[in-house]
């Protein structure tokens, strides 16, 4: 360390005495009594479920009898693989399983299911329920059963930095009552069954399941707090001992176990608050749990704790809800597996800028909970609470307004002529009335949001904007032709609002059991302590290398550089510390370095041994310059090769060598809106001829079809039987292959979509897809993640499929899709090739990649689902079975994009030719041919530079 850095560090560390001296000024402590909205919440039910209960005559009374279903007597159908073993029916992830249930007493029943997860992916288990073949309300189409992960393992340390422990899945049976998976309603679903025999049909959506018991019975009644307290006080005394602090993120003498419903719920580091335990100003201390990783309705954390005596305890949670301004985060509290009183069904955690003590209570009264002496469980589950009504109402409004928008576009097109009278109110019955109804609905939503939060703010602004426009247009419907784009934007904004409002983040450090009036530990440090640690953290930035995720230089360490984000690098570091280094005894220095730095650093003698997340073009560019090691010559390479689609190796091959291992792979797929195609009587096209028919029908109804022309063209070349380049072996790439009849035909077909059918050259496809104005499109398959997360209002209304293909003369359809890769490489200059190869083999293992993919999704959310190149890893990611089937179909037909010297000119020339045809009306064959000359010149130039054959007559 330099003299200057030592001086700065000493100056920072000299402050403790001063800070401690001033700590007598008192520690900041903020206690937040949670409010209660139970009465309002109890009246809300999802609309289709409410209608079902009303039609069935539900008045709150359940049948008095209980029915146990014989789980061994089932019938499997629709391709279901089911078996009975050790007292359980094991149902696969495809098809349906049915139980016939005799019912003697007609009435309403809750359904209790005892199940255990079957080893699969990290995904939640999903099913649809049919009773006598019918879906009675929307909630029956999405029943979610959680896995349970034990997070009790001790937290290890390395160089003072804590390492996130692995969570271990528990497969023990658990019993749940079927309920709203989105946690809008908090009571179990009630089903009316007449006397006689009824079929309970569970249809698989995602993941296998082991069903150990099914019971039709009334769930235990949950009493109001006042009634429950009176009952407890007759047998239990109020605790009067010392306050007991339990860590939320780790086990200690008091917290003896931690379980969670998802690996997504992660331990995190809080640097901002020195009162968080344990704490360090710049080293990694995993001192909290949750935050944005604990935000999804239905996810829970459960703590097994030791209580010193039986009694009634006040409970408080030291936590932070500082990411969702204007929104309460709700949690359902359970004690020993049961909700202790009705008010605990949805406890609000209000927004605060930092950590506070949240004390459940209402009207100035703090709630007490009953605990037995010894081990107890405390659980918090994410629920929507008071936001259930606004969320559901906005979802209904988005669907209604989206439908109205699509009908409008069918008449006016996307760019209406303001001088044409489209007679919208005549052609769309009830147009003004629908707008007025939605305006009134959104007004009610705004009022409810103000009641919940006490203010108008960013969460009401988007709703008010749409409400004002809907009110205005209801008075003058014909004015919609001047406001169509604004209407589309407002509807999209409400879709984004749905995503944000349904997320309920909460970060916890600890919780405290205490006597009712006992003082709580300080939630915040005093300003002087905060200032001291802030100064230490500031000065640490001068001598702690933020790009290096390992601590200093280590003897024999291999240097690994990653050209990705800090979140990705942190996950990799955790995996290295947990798995690779303990197993191999090879230390690793991991650094975040931009991709463009790697080659200059290597030439200067300061490069890495291994580089991760390198684009395929860079891989071959380095290989041409002899900067990379040929992996195909190393021991164990053949074992790695079989884990990937063989065509992907084209992306990292140069001449006779292989210079990278694919990590990620992306390719195009076709997305389509099922609801709109059904409305128009269309099926997703399987060939390009069928696609032309679909486009014609869409255009006739003022819809559009999206194709990214330049991106699709290489796939069309391979579908037509062509290739991007000519030559074979070391001569592959000696000349462009686009002059072939197949490539020319493909280019003519592609440009016809834009010249004859007038498809848009550019478009915001995800947004236009969600509004429905562009119900079919070709896009990278990772668009799925974006739509799944950011377009919740159309969930279940869309899907994706392999690309349309070219019909072959001998029968069948060629659906080839070009795939590109992100890769890991080893530098030729490395003097630790053996250790580096061990690291690369470990990194390419299916288990390592699966752990990385799941950890990355848990940290960054479903929108960051890892586009793995490993086929076995793809099967283990949390895709729904039907979606995974479509992905695998397209993956089988992928063709790796080949990289050759001078190949960078090919996409440029394609773009030039495409634009000259689409925008200037040039003849397709002529335009492509003229640009092929540029490609050939660049290929020849680069082959000469790298001393490769340029004799085209010898190929």
pLDDT digits (tens, 9 = 90+) for 529-567: 677 767 777 666 666 655 555 544 567 789 999 988 777
Are 410 and 337 in a shared domain? no
pLDDT digits (tens, 9 = 90+) for 319-355: 999 887 778 899 999 999 999 999 999 999 998 888 9
Of 123 and 737, which is predicted with more confidence? 737
High-pLDDT (> 70) share of the chain, %:
92
Residue 694: CB atoms within 10 A of its CB come to: 21
Are 786 and 921 in a shared domain? yes
Residue 40: per-residue pLDDT: 42
Q: Which of 440, 469, 501 lies at the terminal end of a domain, its last residue?
A: 501
Residue 18: per-residue pLDDT: 40
Are 437 and 470 in a shared domain? yes
On the question of pLDDT at 5 being above 60, the answer is no
In a domain, 633, yes or no: yes
In a domain, 948, yes or no: yes
Residue 293: per-residue pLDDT: 86
- Which CATH number does the domain housing residue 718 bear? 3.40.190.10
Q: Which of 896, 912, 927 lies at the terminal end of a domain, its last residue?
A: 896
Are 869 and 921 in a shared domain? no
Nearest to 949 by CA among 907, 903, 906, 901: 901
Are 677 and 766 in a shared domain? yes
CA–CA distance, 388 with 391 (Å, rounded to integer): 5
In a domain, 10, yes or no: no
Residue 282: per-residue pLDDT: 77
CA–CA distance, 682 with 661 (Å, rounded to integer): 42
| Confidence grade of residue 949 (pLDDT, cut at 50, 70, 90) | confident
Residue 701: per-residue pLDDT: 86
Are 786 and 910 in a shared domain? yes
On the question of pLDDT at 700 being above 50, the answer is yes
CA–CA distance, 724 with 818 (Å, rounded to integer): 11
Of 224 and 728, which is predicted with more confidence? 224
Residue 566: per-residue pLDDT: 76
> Which residues form the domain of 437?
389-501
C-alpha 607, offset from chain centre: 35
Residue 946: per-residue pLDDT: 87
Domain count, the chain: 5
Nearest to 340 by CA among 249, 256, 226: 226
CA–CA distance, 840 with 834 (Å, rounded to integer): 10
| Confidence grade of residue 161 (pLDDT, cut at 50, 70, 90) | confident
Secondary structure of residue 249 in the 3-state scheme: coil
CA–CA distance, 593 with 565 (Å, rounded to integer): 10
For all residues of the chain together, what is the average pLDDT? 87
Asked if residues 707 and 776 have their Cβ atoms less than 8 Å apart, the reply is no
In a domain, 16, yes or no: no
What average pLDDT score do residues 833-858 get? 90
pLDDT digits (tens, 9 = 90+) for 378-422: 999 999 999 999 999 998 999 899 889 988 988 888 788 888 888
In a domain, 536, yes or no: no
pLDDT digits (tens, 9 = 90+) for 126-157: 999 999 999 999 999 989 999 999 999 888 88
pTM, two decimal places: 0.82
Q: Which of 201-205, 449-453, 603-607, 728-732 has the lowest mean pLDDT?
A: 603-607
C-alpha dihedral sign at 526, 527, 528, 534: positive
Are 178 and 268 in a shared domain? no
Are 686 and 612 in a shared domain? no
Are 776 and 674 in a shared domain? yes
Are 711 and 832 in a shared domain? no
In a domain, 144, yes or no: yes
Of 287 and 595, which is predicted with more confidence? 287
Are 429 and 568 in a shared domain? no
Residue 303: CB atoms within 10 A of its CB come to: 25
- Which CATH number does the domain housing residue 138 bear? 2.60.120.260
Are 112 and 208 in a shared domain? yes
Residue 542: per-residue pLDDT: 64
CA–CA distance, 94 with 222 (Å, rounded to integer): 36
938 Cβ contact list (under 8 Å, min separation 6): 902, 904, 905
What average pLDDT score do residues 16-33 get? 44
Residue 803: per-residue pLDDT: 95
CA–CA distance, 879 with 94 (Å, rounded to integer): 13
Asked if residues 709 and 699 have their Cβ atoms less than 8 Å apart, the reply is no
In a domain, 413, yes or no: yes
In a domain, 159, yes or no: no
Alpha carbon separation from 481 to 203, 417, 474, 703 (Å, rounded): 45, 8, 13, 16
Residue 550: per-residue pLDDT: 58
Q: Which of 896, 913, 938 lies at the terminal end of a domain, its last residue?
A: 896
């Amino acid at each position: 360390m330099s003299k200057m850095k030592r001086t700065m560090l000493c100056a920072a560390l000299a402050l403790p005495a001063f800070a401690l001296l001033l700590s007598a000024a008192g520690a900041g402590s903020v206690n937040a009594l949670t409010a209660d909205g139970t009465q309002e919440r109890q009246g809300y039910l999802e609309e289709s479920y409410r209608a079902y209960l009303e039609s069935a005559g539900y008045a709150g009374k359940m049948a008095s009898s209980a029915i146990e279903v014989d789980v061994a007597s089932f019938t499997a159908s629709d391709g279901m693989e089911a078996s009975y073993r050790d007292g359980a029916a094991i149902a696969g992830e495809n098809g349906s399983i049915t139980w016939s249930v005799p019912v003697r007493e007609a009435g309403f029943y809750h359904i209790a299911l005892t199940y255990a997860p079957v080893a699969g992916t990290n995904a939640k288990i999903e099913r649809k329920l049919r009773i006598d073949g019918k879906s009675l309300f929307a909630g029956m189409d999405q029943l979610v059963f959680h896995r349970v992960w034990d997070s009790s393992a001790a937290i290890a340390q390395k160089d003072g930095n804590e390492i996130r422990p692995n969570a271990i899945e528990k497969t023990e049976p658990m019993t749940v009552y079927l309920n709203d998976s989105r946690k809008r309603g908090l009571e179990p679903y009630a089903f009316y069954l007449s006397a006689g025999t009824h079929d309970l049909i569970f249809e698989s959506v995602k993941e296998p399941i082991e069903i150990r018991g099914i019971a039709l019975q009334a769930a235990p009644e949950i009493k109001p707090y006042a009634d429950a307290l009176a009952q407890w006080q007759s047998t239990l005394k109020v605790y009067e001992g010392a306050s007991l602090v339990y860590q939320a993120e780790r086990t200690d003498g008091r917290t003896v176990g931690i379980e969670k419903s998802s690996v997504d719920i992660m331990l995190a580091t809080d640097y901002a608050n020195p009162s968080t335990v344990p704490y360090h100003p710049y080293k990694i201390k995993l001192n909290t749990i949750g935050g944005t990783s604990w935000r999804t309705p239905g996810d829970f954390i459960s703590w097994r704790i030791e209580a010193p005596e039986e009694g009634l305890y006040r409970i408080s949670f030291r936590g932070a809800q500082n990411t969702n301004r204007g929104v309460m985060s709700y949690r359902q509290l359970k004690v020993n597996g049961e909700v202790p009183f009705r008010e605990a069904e949805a406890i609000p955690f209000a927004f605060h800028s930092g950590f506070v003590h949240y004390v459940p209570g209402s009207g100035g009264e703090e709630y007490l909970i009953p605990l037995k002496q010894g081990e107890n469980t405390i659980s918090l589950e994410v629920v929507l609470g008071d936001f259930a009504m606004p969320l559901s109402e906005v979802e209904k409004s988005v669907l209604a307004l989206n439908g109205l928008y699509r009908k409008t576009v069918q008449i006016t097109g996307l760019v209406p002529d303001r001088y044409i009278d489209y007679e919208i109110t005549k052609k769309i019955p009830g147009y003004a009335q629908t707008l007025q109804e939605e305006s009134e609905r959104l007004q009610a939503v705004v009022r409810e949001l103000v009641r919940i939060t006490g203010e108008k703010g960013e969460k009401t602004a988007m709703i008010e904007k749409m409400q004002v426009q809907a009110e205005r247009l209801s008075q003058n419907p014909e004015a919609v032709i001047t406001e169509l784009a604004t209407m589309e934007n407002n509807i999209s904004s409400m879709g984004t609002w749905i995503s944000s409002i349904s997320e309920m983040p909460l970060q916890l450090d600890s919780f405290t059991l205490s006597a009712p009036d006992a003082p709580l530990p300080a939630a915040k440090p005093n300003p002087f302590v905060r200032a001291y640690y802030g100064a230490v953290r500031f000065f640490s930035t001068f001598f702690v290398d933020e790009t290096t995720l390992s601590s200093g230089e280590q003897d024999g360490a291999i240097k690994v550089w990653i050209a990705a984000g800090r979140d990705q690098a942190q996950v990799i570091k955790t995996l290295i510390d947990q798995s690779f280094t303990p197993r191999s005894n090879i230390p690793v220095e991991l650094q975040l370095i931009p991709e463009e730095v790697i080659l200059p650093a290597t030439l200067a003698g300061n490069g890495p041994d291994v580089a991760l997340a390198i684009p395929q073009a860079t891989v071959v560019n380095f290989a041409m310059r002899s900067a990379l090691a040929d992996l195909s010559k190393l021991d164990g390479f053949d074992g790695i090769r079989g884990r990937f689609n063989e065509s992907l190796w084209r992306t990292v091959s140069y001449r006779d060598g292989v210079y990278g291992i694919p990590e990620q792979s992306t390719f195009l797929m076709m997305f389509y809106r099922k609801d709109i195609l059904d409305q128009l009587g269309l099926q997703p096209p399987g060939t390009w001829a069928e696609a032309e028919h679909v486009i014609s029908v869409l255009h006739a109804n003022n819809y559009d079809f999206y194709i990214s022309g330049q991106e699709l063209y290489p796939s069309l070349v391979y579908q037509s039987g062509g290739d991007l380049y000519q030559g074979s072996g070391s001569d592959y790439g000696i000349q462009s292959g686009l002059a072939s009849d197949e490539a020319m035909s493909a280019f003519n077909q592609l440009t016809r979509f834009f010249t004859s059918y007038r498809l848009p050259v550019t478009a915001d496809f995800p947004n236009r897809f969600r509004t429905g104005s562009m119900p079919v499109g070709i896009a990278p398959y990772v668009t799925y993640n974006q739509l799944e997360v950011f377009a919740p209002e159309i969930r279940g209304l869309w899907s994706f499929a392999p690309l349309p293909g070219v019909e072959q003369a001998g029968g069948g359809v060629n659906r080839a899709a070009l795939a590109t890769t992100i890769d890991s490489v080893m530098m030729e200059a490395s003097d630790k090739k053996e250790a580096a190869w061990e690291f690369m083999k470990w990194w390419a293992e299916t288990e390592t990649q699966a752990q990385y993919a799941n950890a990355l999704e848990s940290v960054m959310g479903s929108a960051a689902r890892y586009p793995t190149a490993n086929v076995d890893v793809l099967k283990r990611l949390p895709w729904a079975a039907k979606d995974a089937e479509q992905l695998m179909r397209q993956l089988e037909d992928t063709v790796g994009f080949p990289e050759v010297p001078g190949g960078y000119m090919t996409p440029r020339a394609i773009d030039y030719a495409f634009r000259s045809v689409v925008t200037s009306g040039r003849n397709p064959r002529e335009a492509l041919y003229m640009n092929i000359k540029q490609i050939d010149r660049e290929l020849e130039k680069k082959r000469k530079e790298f001393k490769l054959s340029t004799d085209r007559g010898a190929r």
